[in-house]
């Protein structure tokens, strides 16, 4: 308890408060480090880029913007940020929330108003999921906005768990080994899309969002629900994470260690041209040997040090 006349902000922190502060600082540093490492590993942001940060009002995009603003201040290169939100005119959408937040943090922003809600409600039968059509319409509008703004990169808030969920969805339901890449060309060929949160876990982002108290806008205003198949995969991964610590890290590591010659895609590896050689072959077949497994390093381990957060080519 503080005495009369003492500024509460100047009062010494309790042991519990010190512990919370230390835990938050570690979390913040880990998220910033993982974003910086992803940017450096995949060349996401280059000197003089203009990065359009797509802000939905959810925890992921808030965290992405927050971390990119920090990296902009300390990075050895120059780049600009503009936050963009698409107001799709859902009934009840709190239009004041994002502008007030963006002005409070001092970032350039643009609110794009397009009534895609009416289009989706008109085209999608009652009771059906609206997310697919809504996503396509939103993507087209954001591409057009990026072109008008002269943005060189479009940043999306997908994280490591999203990438793993997409991998399993494609494998289970699409018959493909395919995930969300951290960097790629947009489907219209005109833009570079980046995912700076590629190395960040949803658990860390949720904890950070709760601690910082971002003004979250829930994505349930239109009455749509997240795809049931994705919900099932998310539940499966969360169950594995609880019961088998380290499995999620191992699976994400696998996405970064692909051996095309040990899969069955004839378009990816020229099996017909295989011939013997006069010596050992790197990554040759060891079908008669028992498999050996090495524990992958955890990309979120606090002991990892990233020397250069970002560097120009």
Q: Is the dihedral of CA 147, 152, 157, 159 positive or negative?
A: positive
Is position 200 annotated in a ligand binding site? no
d(CA 145, CA 84): 9
d(CA 161, CA 156): 14
Is position 134 annotated in a ligand binding site? yes
- Side-chain half-sphere CA neighbours of 21 within 13 A: 7
Is position 54 annotated in a ligand binding site? no
Q: What is the 3-state secondary structure (H, E, C) of 9-56?
A: HHCCCCHHHHHHHHHHHHHHHHHHHHHHHHHHHHCCCCCCEEEEEECC
If you search the block for the tokens 């910082």, which residue do you land on? 212
Other CB atoms within 10 Å distance of the CB of residue 149: 14
SS3 286: coil
d(CA 276, CA 285): 12
Other CB atoms within 10 Å distance of the CB of residue 98: 21
Binding residues for [4Fe-4S] cluster: 131, 134, 222
Binding-site residue set: 131, 134, 222
């Amino acid at each position: 308890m503080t005495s009369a006349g003492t500024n509460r902000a100047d009062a010494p922190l309790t042991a519990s408060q010190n512990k919370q502060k230390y835990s938050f600082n570690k979390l913040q540093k880990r998220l910033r480090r993982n974003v910086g490492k992803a940017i450096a590993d995949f060349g996401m942001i280059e000197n003089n880029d203009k990065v359009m940060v797509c802000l939905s009002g959810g925890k992921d995009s808030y965290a992405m913007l927050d971390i990119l603003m920090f990296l902009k201040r300390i990075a050895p290169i120059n780049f600009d940020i503009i936050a963009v939100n698409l107001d799709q005119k859902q009934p009840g959408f709190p239009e004041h929330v994002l502008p007030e937040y963006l002005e409070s943090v001092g970032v350039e922003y643009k609110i794009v108003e397009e009534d895609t809600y009416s289009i989706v409600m008109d085209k999608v039968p009652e009771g059906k999921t609206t997310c697919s059509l809504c996503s396509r319409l939103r993507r087209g509008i954001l591409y057009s906005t990026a072109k008008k703004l002269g943005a060189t990169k479009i940043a999306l808030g997908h994280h490591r768990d999203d990438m793993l969920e997409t991998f399993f969805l494609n494998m289970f339901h699409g018959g493909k080994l395919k995930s969300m890449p951290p960097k790629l060309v947009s489907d219209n060929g005109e833009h570079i899309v980046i995912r700076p949160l590629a190395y960040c876990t949803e658990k860390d982002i949720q904890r950070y969002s709760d601690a910082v108290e971002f003004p979250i806008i829930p994505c349930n205003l239109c009455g749509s629900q997240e795809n049931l198949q994705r919900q099932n995969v998310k539940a499966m991964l969360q169950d594995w994470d609880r019961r088998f610590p380290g499995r999620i890290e191992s699976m994400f590591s696998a996405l970064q260690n692909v051996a095309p010659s040990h899969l069955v895609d004839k378009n990816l590896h020229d099996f017909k041209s295989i011939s013997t050689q006069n010596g050992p072959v790197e990554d040759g077949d060891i079908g008669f040997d028992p498999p050996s497994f090495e524990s992958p390093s955890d990309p979120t381990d606090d002991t990892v040090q990233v020397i250069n957060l970002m560097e120009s080519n």
